[in-house]
Chains A and B, each alone.
Chain A
Amino acid sequence: MQNQFKINCGAIAAVLALAAPGVVHADAAKDLGVAGRALTFLENGPAGKATLGVVFDPSKPASVAEKNALMAALGSGYAAGTLTLVGKAIEADAVGGAAGVQALFVTGGVNYGAVGSAAKGKKLITIGSDMACVRSGACAMGVETEPKVSITVNRATAAAVGASFKAAFRMMITEI
């Protein structure tokens, strides 16, 4: 009985271990799709090919895993509506020196307060899937895909980086 329990636990653990990266990857791709399409509703936003900085904390395994999943989804170019996104991994403490990116995706676990301040200095729109980042004002836009797509925009932060969304888009999202 005990052996059977161990086998079952082992099997479940193996399944979870195999499944976990896939789950992270799938969620990251969904977040990326929503974030990328949302960027197409920016007034004077990026068009054609744009570089998305993926901000991560190398000391946080979850942040690194999300970064890896996002970069894998971005691949050599991720099509989101009329926009093709390419990725550039950026360590959190290097955001102030980041160049050649049009937007930042802040992974979970990152000290988003510092990242948000650096992004405002560079007039870069910040996107994250952690709503606490949006509520704090560090992220201009938050995206959720479960149980359904939901987008939240912090109007003050968006205004601070010069981001203005089209009217039709604003009617369909949550603004705080």
Chain B
Amino acid sequence: MNKTHLLAGAAAGLALAAALPASAQSIDYGSLEQLFGEPVTTSATGSPQRSTEAPADMQIISADEIRRSGATNLQALLQRVAGVDALNSSAGQTDVNVRGYNQISSPRLLVLVNGRQVYLDHYGMTIWATIPVQLEEIRQIEVVKGPNSALFGFNAVSGVVNIITYNPQFDDTDVVTARVGTNGFSQGSLVSSFKLGEALSARLSVGASRQDEWDRVGTPVTVDQVHDPRAVTANLDAVAQLGASTTLRVEGSWANVQESLMATGTSYSVAKAITNSEKATLTSDTRFGTIQAQVYQNQLTAKYAIAGGINWENTITVASLQDLFKVGTAHTFRVGAEYRHNTLNIAPMNTSDVSYDVVSGSGMWNWQINPKLATTVALRVDKMSLERSGPFLPRSPNANNALWDRDISKTSANATVAWRPTDADTFRLSYGRGVQPPSLIELGGLELPIAAGPMTLDLVGNPRLKPSILTNYELAYDHDFAPIEAKLGVRLFQQDWKDIKTSISTATLDFFPTLTTNGGFTQINGLDSKAKGVELTASGKATPELGWRVDYTWTEVKDQPFAGVNTVLRNVAFAQTTPKGRGNIGLDWVKGPWEADANLHYVGDYQFYHMVGGLLAPVDAHVSLSGRVGYKMENGVTLALAGQNLLNERQKQTRGLEAERRIQFSVSKSW
């Protein structure tokens, strides 16, 4: 998709809109939330639902919780969600996964902003600082636990983080914020909404931040491997009413980030990521249902200061069409089709490309059998066609473009039965089958020769990689103790992973040298794995001013490596690197202009790859405290003091750089 054409079409739509009367058609989260008295989500089925009735295991972080938390970034917020694992490997970067199986450059979490994927599709990882939203413009963050690729497609295997920003058509958001703190921390942001005529609304946001990287003391990390994290982002979100029943939403963003990333668990490198995106969404209420056509393109320039400099240029274009409609009084359906094209240069030679096209069809059926019983079924079929073009390294062990001429077809599924025997009790039994395809880097985006004595060995991609498949079974129970304003939740879950992909290991040759080819190393499908677990959550109000929340998630992982696979050397020793326990205890308090929040986050013992040699070494159980105290004045100015890792000046949370205590003072003004 040509970026110029995309923007030109969007601009024409916006121009057409300027003269037409305003009438809401896209989902007005705020009005629906005020009507039903609880958050509304579309992340479970694509149709709007009350958060307590969505047929998925979901936790929503509200705008109030975001503000009260004192968090200065998205990853700090996600660590407060029950069952979420976080590897805080540097001041700017955290790898996040749901219910175990976390790793450096975690590629199993689908992260979206208003339905657009914002994880980086060269590897499937998320660099959180590249996400072009300011915390002040987020309406809610929806965290869906477990596989959900039947609705969302690729990467929605361990979970989905769907960031919903305010809609400029319905929400007037104007706030400017400045933060300064210890260790060189400074951050500024501006969010401003405006109207251009009766039918055109827009919101502009910009932000910048910097802080000192965590200290290297006690680690073998060298000064050239780290960089103080810095980020600048901008986003424009415009909504036009094209008629009584049709809206066009156009979003464009840019981000420029530089920070230290832990690579493969045993070293650090400085990475620079520049992202651009353009997106247009046309939504229309018709006699055939709510039809939505969407097209977007993400461009990534990623530069890594390793092996003399590796630069990747990744472009993904996604076009989708869906219809959401209700038949009779009890049946809701969604049918959709999607096309995506994803392409990446092969680094570091940059004379070849690897790419794929994906064609998908999907459907969802929600049946409200009676007021107490509902069922939801979703299916999606993806056909991925792989291609490689261009020359190879001399003597490459994979020097045949025809190896990439293959199709991968997979089916994703979700099914849920929800039973509400009383107004206070909900039982939910669910099944999910998620598909995690290989990333473009794994499929061939890296062809790097390395010297090994008199020989040359190649790091290459593997066009034969199979997708990893996660099957998840879950039984959930929720009880609402309405008289005492408290809620209890229990989840029992079982995960079955097939064909988990590994990292490259230089300890074992995957290609033996021949007379005409070098030996080499690549990623492989290296193991199956199973996990079982329990998640307990409770929350409530002790007084009208004082809220409380507690959660604890226990998991046990058992890996089943394939013959000859060393899970430690290939960085997939999930049985050892997944902590058995993680949890939170939190309090929030609001009285008049004052508000406060405190959160204790616990992570149990686990092992992680040692910075020297890469073998496993222990990370002791640890507790970290974050919190904020804020005071809002009548003129819209809020003063706040916030901090993270408050219990310790330095704390070993991974085997890499140690997390440091950070404190910030902020001034914000809303109007």
Same complex origin of A and B = yes
Q: Which residues of A contact B (CB under 8 A)?
A: 34, 37-38, 40-41, 43-44, 81-82, 147-149, 155, 166-172, 174-176
Q: How far is the CB of B4 from chain A (nearest CB, A)?
A: 33
Kindly report which residue of chain A lies nearest to residue B286, judged by CB atoms. A167
| A147–B371 CB distance below 8 A | no
User: Please, which residues of chain B bring their CB within 8 A of the CB of A38?
Assistant: 35
Q: How far is the CB of A5 from chain B (nearest CB, A)?
A: 28
| B37–A148 CB distance below 8 A | yes
| B34–A37 CB distance below 8 A | yes
Q: How far is the CB of A125 from chain B (nearest CB, A)?
A: 16
Contact pick for B31, options A81, A155, A167, CB 8 Å = A81
Q: How far is the CB of A36 from chain B (nearest CB, A)?
A: 9
| A171–B49 CB distance below 8 A | yes
| A168–B48 CB distance below 8 A | yes
**In the docked arrangement, what's the CA distance between A81 and B171, Å?**
12
Asked whether B25 is an interface residue with its Cβ less than 8 Å from the other chain, the reply is: yes
| B27–A168 CB distance below 8 A | yes
**In the docked arrangement, what's the CA distance between A40 and B40, Å?**
17
| B25–A44 CB distance below 8 A | no
**In the docked arrangement, what's the CA distance between A43 and B330, Å?**
21
**In the docked arrangement, what's the CA distance between A171 and B31, Å?**
14
**In the docked arrangement, what's the CA distance between A41 and B24, Å?**
9
| A166–B285 CB distance below 8 A | yes
**In the docked arrangement, what's the CA distance between A148 and B53, Å?**
12
Asked whether B635 is an interface residue with its Cβ less than 8 Å from the other chain, the reply is: no
Known contacts A149-B36, A167-B324, A172-B49; can you find 5 more A-B pairs with CB under 8 A?
A37-B31, A43-B244, A81-B31, A148-B36, A176-B329
User: Please, which residues of chain B bring their CB within 8 A of the CB of A175?
Assistant: 326, 329-330
If over half of A's interface residues share one DSSP class (helix, strand or loop), that class is named, otherwise mixed; here it is loop
| A172–B244 CB distance below 8 A | no
If over half of B's interface residues share one DSSP class (helix, strand or loop), that class is named, otherwise mixed; here it is mixed
User: Please, which residues of chain B bring their CB within 8 A of the CB of A82?
Assistant: 31
User: Of residues B28, B244, B368, which shows the largest number of chain A Cβ atoms within 10 Å of its Cβ?
Assistant: B28
Q: Can you report 17 residue pairs joining A to B where beta carbons are below 8 Å apart?
A: A34-B35, A41-B35, A81-B31, A81-B34, A81-B35, A166-B25, A166-B285, A167-B285, A167-B290, A167-B326, A168-B290, A171-B49, A171-B326, A171-B332, A172-B36, A175-B329, A176-B329
Asked whether B224 is an interface residue with its Cβ less than 8 Å from the other chain, the reply is: no
| B47–A171 CB distance below 8 A | yes
User: Please, which residues of chain B bring their CB within 8 A of the CB of A176?
Assistant: 329
Which residues of chain B from 21 to 54 have any CB-CB distance to chain A below 8 Å in the complex? Answer: 24-25, 27-28, 31-32, 34-38, 40, 47-50
Q: How far is the CB of B38 from chain A (nearest CB, A)?
A: 8
Kindly report which residue of chain A lies nearest to residue B482, judged by CB atoms. A147
Contact pick for B423, options A43, A147, A172, CB 8 Å = A147
Kindly report which residue of chain A lies nearest to residue B36, judged by CB atoms. A149
Which residues of chain B from 86 to 143 have any CB-CB distance to chain A below 8 Å in the complex? Answer: none
| A174–B371 CB distance below 8 A | yes
Q: Which residues of B contact A (CB under 8 A)?
A: 24-25, 27-28, 31-32, 34-38, 40, 47-50, 244, 285, 289-290, 324-326, 329-330, 332, 368, 371, 423-424, 482
User: Please, which residues of chain A bring their CB within 8 A of the CB of B368?
Assistant: 174
Kindly report which residue of chain A lies nearest to residue B26, judged by CB atoms. A168
User: Please, which residues of chain B bring their CB within 8 A of the CB of A170?
Assistant: 326
* 9 residue pairs, one from A and one from B, having the closest CB atoms: A175-B329, A37-B35, A167-B290, A171-B47, A147-B423, A168-B48, A168-B27, A149-B36, A167-B285
User: Of residues A43, A44, A148, which shows the largest number of chain B Cβ atoms within 10 Å of its Cβ?
Assistant: A148
| B37–A172 CB distance below 8 A | no
Kindly report which residue of chain B lies nearest to residue A176, judged by CB atoms. B329
Q: How far is the CB of A16 from chain B (nearest CB, A)?
A: 19
| A172–B329 CB distance below 8 A | no
User: With A166-B285, A170-B326 as given contacts, are A149 and B25 in contact (CB-CB < 8 Å)?
Assistant: no
User: With A44-B244, A81-B31 as given contacts, are A171 and B48 in contact (CB-CB < 8 Å)?
Assistant: yes
Kindly report which residue of chain B lies nearest to residue A170, judged by CB atoms. B326
Kindly report which residue of chain A lies nearest to residue B49, judged by CB atoms. A172
**In the docked arrangement, what's the CA distance between A81 and B33, Å?**
11
Kindly report which residue of chain A lies nearest to residue B29, judged by CB atoms. A168
| B36–A167 CB distance below 8 A | no
User: Please, which residues of chain A bring their CB within 8 A of the CB of B285?
Assistant: 43, 166-167
**In the docked arrangement, what's the CA distance between A155 and B329, Å?**
8
Kindly report which residue of chain B lies nearest to residue A44, judged by CB atoms. B244
User: Please, which residues of chain A bring their CB within 8 A of the CB of B32?
Assistant: 168-169, 172
**In the docked arrangement, what's the CA distance between A172 and B332, Å?**
10
| A149–B37 CB distance below 8 A | yes
Kindly report which residue of chain B lies nearest to residue A143, judged by CB atoms. B35
User: With A167-B324, A171-B326 as given contacts, are A149 and B423 in contact (CB-CB < 8 Å)?
Assistant: no
**In the docked arrangement, what's the CA distance between A146 and B36, Å?**
11
User: Please, which residues of chain A bring their CB within 8 A of the CB of B325?
Assistant: 167
| A149–B326 CB distance below 8 A | no
**In the docked arrangement, what's the CA distance between A82 and B172, Å?**
14
Q: How far is the CB of B647 from chain A (nearest CB, A)?
A: 39
User: Please, which residues of chain B bring their CB within 8 A of the CB of A43?
Assistant: 244, 285
**In the docked arrangement, what's the CA distance between A147 and B47, Å?**
24
Kindly report which residue of chain A lies nearest to residue B328, judged by CB atoms. A175
**In the docked arrangement, what's the CA distance between A37 and B48, Å?**
17
**In the docked arrangement, what's the CA distance between A34 and B31, Å?**
11
Contact pick for B48, options A44, A149, A172, CB 8 Å = A172
**In the docked arrangement, what's the CA distance between A43 and B25, Å?**
10
User: Please, which residues of chain B bring their CB within 8 A of the CB of A34?
Assistant: 35
User: Please, which residues of chain B bring their CB within 8 A of the CB of A174?
Assistant: 329, 368, 371
User: Please, which residues of chain B bring their CB within 8 A of the CB of A37?
Assistant: 31, 34-35
User: Please, which residues of chain A bring their CB within 8 A of the CB of B35?
Assistant: 34, 37-38, 41, 81, 149
User: Please, which residues of chain A bring their CB within 8 A of the CB of B244?
Assistant: 43-44
Kindly report which residue of chain A lies nearest to residue B290, judged by CB atoms. A167
Q: How far is the CB of A77 from chain B (nearest CB, A)?
A: 18
Q: How far is the CB of B285 from chain A (nearest CB, A)?
A: 5
User: Please, which residues of chain A bring their CB within 8 A of the CB of B25?
Assistant: 166
User: Of residues A147, A171, A172, A174, which shows the largest number of chain B Cβ atoms within 10 Å of its Cβ?
Assistant: A171
**In the docked arrangement, what's the CA distance between A81 and B49, Å?**
19
User: Please, which residues of chain A bring their CB within 8 A of the CB of B482?
Assistant: 147
User: Please, which residues of chain B bring their CB within 8 A of the CB of A147?
Assistant: 423-424, 482
Q: How far is the CB of B374 from chain A (nearest CB, A)?
A: 11
Q: How far is the CB of B549 from chain A (nearest CB, A)?
A: 20
Kindly report which residue of chain B lies nearest to residue A38, judged by CB atoms. B35
**In the docked arrangement, what's the CA distance between A169 and B26, Å?**
11
**In the docked arrangement, what's the CA distance between A148 and B330, Å?**
20
**In the docked arrangement, what's the CA distance between A175 and B40, Å?**
19
Kindly report which residue of chain A lies nearest to residue B46, judged by CB atoms. A171
Q: How far is the CB of B175 from chain A (nearest CB, A)?
A: 23
Q: How far is the CB of B640 from chain A (nearest CB, A)?
A: 30
Q: How far is the CB of B403 from chain A (nearest CB, A)?
A: 47
Q: How far is the CB of B308 from chain A (nearest CB, A)?
A: 53
User: Please, which residues of chain A bring their CB within 8 A of the CB of B330?
Assistant: 175
Kindly report which residue of chain B lies nearest to residue A172, judged by CB atoms. B48
User: Please, which residues of chain B bring their CB within 8 A of the CB of A155?
Assistant: 329
Kindly report which residue of chain B lies nearest to residue A36, judged by CB atoms. B35
**In the docked arrangement, what's the CA distance between A41 and B290, Å?**
15
Kindly report which residue of chain A lies nearest to residue B330, judged by CB atoms. A175
